[in-house]
Amino acid sequence: MVSMVSPGTPQKVVTARDMGIVACRLCTKAWPMGTEVCGRCGHAIQSRDPMSLQRVWAYWLVGLICYIPANTYPMLRTETLFQSDESTIIAGAVEIAHYGNYGIAAIILFASVVIPLSKFWAVAYLAVSVKNPMRVSNHRRQLLYEIVEYIGRWSMIDIFVVAILSALVQLKTLASINPGPASIFFALSVIFTMLSAQSFDSRMIWDAQAKKEDASQDD
Amino acid sequence: MNVLAATPDAKALLDDMIVCPQCDAAYRMHKPQKGEVATCQRCHKVLIAPRRNAGLYIIAVALAVLFLIMGAAVFPFLTIDAAGNKNAVSILDAALAFSGGPMIFLSLATAALIIFVPLLRVLLILYVLIPVVLDKPAARYAIPAFRLSEDLRPWSMAEIFAIGCAVALVKVADLAQVGFGPAFWMFGILVVLVIAQDSFMCKWSVWYRLEHPKKS
């Protein structure tokens, strides 16, 4: 491991904003403050994005709104010889638990209910925490952000399962599975939560700490 | 304190800097050796991680991924058999399972996420890296191409689809006999290769090489 050499004293990290430079978040190149487009990779650059939180909340809200019909409408429509059956995400998991597959039921509930709800909570918490001082350390919050960004894509797995099942289980009269309207809302909810997490400017997590340190030095 | 912009050697000074994209900490560049990793002191994000012959490996893997995606998309993927009723589906069939009304958008999105975005990323990476590895001047539009490839990274979901298959198999296992087609194994290899490719790629090194192309 090689650590980068800080231009200031090794104890205190100097941010690009403090030095009057603005950095490209895509290719890490530094430019004079006020530069709007990175000369190396052409990415739009801003020292801090003032609209970041607004976009986070807007996407977050749309994602949350989409998550409601994703749970109330049926996700799968199963037709077998004698009956046709529509089940929502939660009802489907409960039904699987009734058959004795507790492990699978737990995985489904975890992936489709616990993870999405925690994601909404985590993004909201991060967005609130950059405005209001929080006790949780920046490293923890950074970790939380990385987890949200990493996990976010994996929620799409539900949609892929529905797609595979609907394509595969088309056995004429014997059994067929078709996607229900919840699938489209669930997909939208995942996409908007991903956009919400991507809009979050993680540099703000660290700005709050810098402010706190300055304040304690003034005391 | 915008002193940097005015001084004549400002550009050299800025060229010598690297800024953590995650926490905005600024550092004087200290280029690591091959195999070493440079991380941000504050948030521990990996900034530079060059590897020996990484470009060659990435190109080899990308070519393999290219053929696997095309194969996996058209060959039968899973087969199902219950009381004489048989059905075989390809990945394209699975992606296009949402049909009728607004569901068609979901079909298009699924097809994009599992086939077209990974395919486009592979093509872009090949386009950008082949001239770089051959020590030729960078390809035209290499910079926007690589930027697009990076922007698409979170939307490339082949590996998630693979795990989705496992879940779907568990769900129908007691309903019917499920068999694997050739595409299933292609897709399995593909997932491993896609993950390997992403871990080999040092983005900073690519940007650096695109900025300082070798004159041949």
Instruction: Flag residues of chain B having pLDDT under 50.
Output: 1-6, 216
Asked if A42 and A58 sit in the same domain, the reply is no
Beta strands at A30-32 and A21-23: parallel, antiparallel or unpaired? antiparallel
Number of domains in chain A: 2
Residue type, A166: S
Residue A116 has pLDDT above 80, yes or no: yes
Residue range(s) defining the domain that contains residue A5: 1-47
β-pair partners for B46: B39
> What confidence tens digit (pLDDT) does each residue in B76-90 have?
888 887 777 778 888
- Closest CB to B26 among A21, A24, A184: A21
β-pair partners for A2: B38
Asked if A126 and A153 sit in the same domain, the reply is yes
| Cβ–Cβ under 8 Å, residues B175 and B208 | no
Q: What CATH code is carried by the domain that includes residue A119?
A: 1.20.140
Walk across the sheet containing A170-171 and list its strands. Answer: A84-87, A76-80, A175-179, A170-171
Asked if A144 and A64 sit in the same domain, the reply is yes
- Closest CB to A171 among B10, B82, B102: B82
Q: What is the DSSP letter of A110?
A: I
ipTM summary value? 0.83
Tell if the CB–CB gap between A23 and B29 is shorter than 8 Å.
Answer: no
> What confidence tens digit (pLDDT) does each residue in B136-180 have?
888 888 889 999 998 998 898 888 888 888 778 877 777 777 888
Residue type, B149: S
What is the nearest CA distance from B101 to chain A, expressed in angstroms? Answer: 10
Asked if A212 and A170 sit in the same domain, the reply is yes
Asked if A18 and A119 sit in the same domain, the reply is no
Asked if A23 and A126 sit in the same domain, the reply is no
Confidence of residue A216 (pLDDT cuts 50, 70, 90): low
Asked if A28 and A108 sit in the same domain, the reply is no
Asked if A70 and A159 sit in the same domain, the reply is yes
Count of CB atoms situated within 10 Å of the CB of B55: 21
Asked if A127 and A169 sit in the same domain, the reply is yes
Query: Is A28 in the B-facing interface, judged by CB distances under 8 Å?
Result: yes
Asked if A14 and A120 sit in the same domain, the reply is no
Asked if A26 and A40 sit in the same domain, the reply is yes
**How far, in Å, CA of A149 to CA of B21, rounded?**
15
Query: Is A169 in the B-facing interface, judged by CB distances under 8 Å?
Result: yes
| pTM of this prediction exceeds 0.90 | no
Q: Which of 191-210 (A) contact B at CB < 8 A?
A: 191, 194, 198, 202-203, 205-207
Residue A120 has pLDDT above 80, yes or no: yes
Confidence of residue A8 (pLDDT cuts 50, 70, 90): very low
Asked if A71 and A35 sit in the same domain, the reply is no
Tell if the CB–CB gap between A167 and B93 is shorter than 8 Å.
Answer: yes
β-pair partners for B167: none
**How far, in Å, CA of B63 to CA of B65, rounded?**
5
What residues have CB less than 8 Å from B66, skipping those under 6 apart?
B119, B122, B123, B126
